[in-house]
Amino acid sequence: MELVQRVIIPAPRQAVWQGLNDPAVLKRSLRGCETFEANAAGGFDIVLQLKVGPVKASFRGEVSLTDVVDGESYTLSGSGKGGVAGYAKGSAHVTLSEPEPGRTEMRYRVDASVGGKLAQVGSRLVDGAARKMANDFFGEFIRVICDDDQVEFILETIEE
């Protein structure tokens, strides 16, 4: 699955960048996330409950940040194993700009793939599930960093 989206967030770029690097913010933004902790390798250990169609499992894995350009962009990549349910892996390349003070434009390209039982019985549902997960994550992320449940923002899909 591939997805490219753009959001306009009513917050300064530095606040958005800090959120993108704060495990507590990321954990709150990720639905079903039970653990999101910094590890010794500079990444994060995560435990995540995922449900795709008939397959529901707890995935354990690692998230790492690469290609970091401070305040501007990074790539968030992760992979997780769900035991008999199979595995999931994905990455999101995120870039930030501030077209006007106090408003940040965030673009991200998400790639995701699955294997094992998740692919076998849930393949046709994976795209939809991954897209929903990305939408939910970034939507929630914006609400968290703006600290406003009602915050208004513009989200548009550029490619999928």
Partner 1 sequence: MVEKSIGQRVLRKEDVRFITGKGQYTDDINLRGQAFAYFVRSPVARATIGHIDVSDAESAPGVIAVLTGQQLAKDGLGTLPCGWMVLSKDGSEMKQPPHPIMAADSIHYAGEPVAIVVASTYQAARDAAERVVVDYDELDAVVDLATAQDSDQIYPEVPRNTSYEWELGDREATMAAIAGAHHVTRLTLRNNRLIPNAIEPRAAIADFNPSTEELTLYTTSQNPHVVRLVLTAFIQIAPEHKLRVVAPDVGGGFGSKIFIYSEETAVAWASKRLGIPIKWTGERSESFLADAHGRDHLTDAVLAMDEEGHFLGLHVKTRANMGAYLSTFASSVPTYLYGTLLAGQYKTPNIYVEVDAVFTNTAPVDAYRGAGRPEATYLLERIVEIAASEMSLSPAEIRRRNFITDFPYQTPVALEYDIGGYDASLTKALEMADWDGFESRRGEARARGKLRGIGLSCYIEACGIAPSKVVGSLGAGVGLWESGEVRVNPTGSVSVLTGSHSHGQGHETTFAQLVASRLGISVDDVGVIHGDTARLDFGMGTYGSRSLAVGGSALSSAADKIVVKARKIAAHLMQSDEDSVEFDDGVFTVKESNRSKTFQEVAFAAYVPHDYPDDLEPGLAEKAFYDPANFTFPAGAYVCEVEIDPDTGVTRIVKFTAVDDFGEVINPMIVEGQVHGGLAQGIGQALLEQCVYDDSGQLMTGSYMDYCMPRADDLPDFDIAMTVTPCTHNPLGAKGCGEAGAIGSPPAVINAITNAIGIREIDMPATPERVWRAIQQAGGQ
Binding residues (CB under 8 A) for partner 1: these are: 53, 81, 83-84, 86-87, 113-117, 119-121, 123-124
- For partner 1, the closer of residues 81 and 143 by Cβ is 81
Q: Which DSSP state fits 54?
A: T
CA angle 65, 12, 141 (to 5 degrees): 50
70, 85 in Cβ contact below 8 A? no
- For partner 1, the closer of residues 49 and 97 by Cβ is 49
Rounded Cα distance between 160 and 144, Å, is: 26
Q: How far is the CB of 60 from partner 1 (least distance, A)?
A: 10
Rounded Cα distance between 125 and 151, Å, is: 30
Q: How far is the CB of 83 from partner 1 (least distance, A)?
A: 3
73, 108 in Cβ contact below 8 A? no
Q: How far is the CB of 102 from partner 1 (least distance, A)?
A: 44
How many of the other CB atoms lie within 10 Å of CB of 24? 11
Q: How far is the CB of 72 from partner 1 (least distance, A)?
A: 31
- For partner 1, the closer of residues 78 and 86 by Cβ is 86
108, 76 in Cβ contact below 8 A? no
- For partner 1, the closer of residues 35 and 123 by Cβ is 123
49, 55 in Cβ contact below 8 A? no
Q: Which amino acid is at 109?
A: R
Q: How far is the CB of 148 from partner 1 (least distance, A)?
A: 40
- For partner 1, the closer of residues 40 and 124 by Cβ is 124
